[in-house]
A and B are shown apart, each in its own frame.
Chain A
Amino acid sequence: MKLRNKRSLMQIAAFIISNFGFISIFKTGFVCPFLYCYGCPFAAFGCPIGIIQNFIIYHQFPLFTIGSLGVYGMILGRIFCGWACPFGTLHDMLSHSNAKRSIQTRNYWYVKYIILFLTLSLAWIALDTIFCKFCPSGSLFASIPFRLLYPEAVEFGLLFYIHMFTLVSTIVLALLISRFWCRYLCPLGAIAGVFNKVSIVNISVDEKRCKKCLSCLEVCVMKITKLEDIGNSTDCILCGRCVEACPERALYFMIRK
Chain B
Amino acid sequence: MYKTHFKLKLLLLICFILVVALSANDYWLIQTLVRYVCTSCVGIG
Residues of A that sit less than 8 Å from B by CB: 21, 27-31, 37-39, 43-46, 50-51, 54-55, 62-68, 70-71, 74-75, 128-129, 132-133, 135, 138-139, 142-143, 146-147, 154-164, 198, 200, 257
Residues of A near B19 (CB, < 8 A) are: 63-64, 66-67, 70
Q: Which residues of B (11-40) have their CB < 8 Å from a CB of A?
A: 12-13, 15-20, 22-24, 26-35, 37-40
Closest to B17 in A: A71
Specify which of B26, B28, B42 is in contact with A143 (CB 8 Å cutoff).
B42
Q: How far is the CA of A133 from the CA of B40 in the complex (A)?
A: 5
Q: How far is the CA of A44 from the CA of B18 in the complex (A)?
A: 24
* Contact present for A29 and B34 (CB under 8 Å): yes
In the complex, the number of residue pairs spanning A and B with C-beta atoms less than 8 Å apart equals 132
What is the size, in residues, of chain B's interface with A at 8 Å between Cβ atoms? 35
Residues of B near A142 (CB, < 8 A) are: 38, 41-43
Specify which of A46, A147, A156, A257 is in contact with B33 (CB 8 Å cutoff).
A46
Q: How far is the CA of A67 from the CA of B24 in the complex (A)?
A: 10
* Contact present for B43 and A146 (CB under 8 Å): yes
- 7 closest A-B pairs (Cβ-Cβ)? A39-B41, A160-B43, A29-B31, A67-B19, A70-B16, A64-B26, A63-B23
Distance in Å: Cβ of B30 to nearest Cβ of chain A? 4
Q: How far is the CA of A198 from the CA of B45 in the complex (A)?
A: 42
Distance in Å: Cβ of A188 to nearest Cβ of chain B? 15
Further pairs besides A70-B13, A200-B13: 4, Cβ < 8 Å: A29-B30, A71-B13, A143-B43, A257-B3
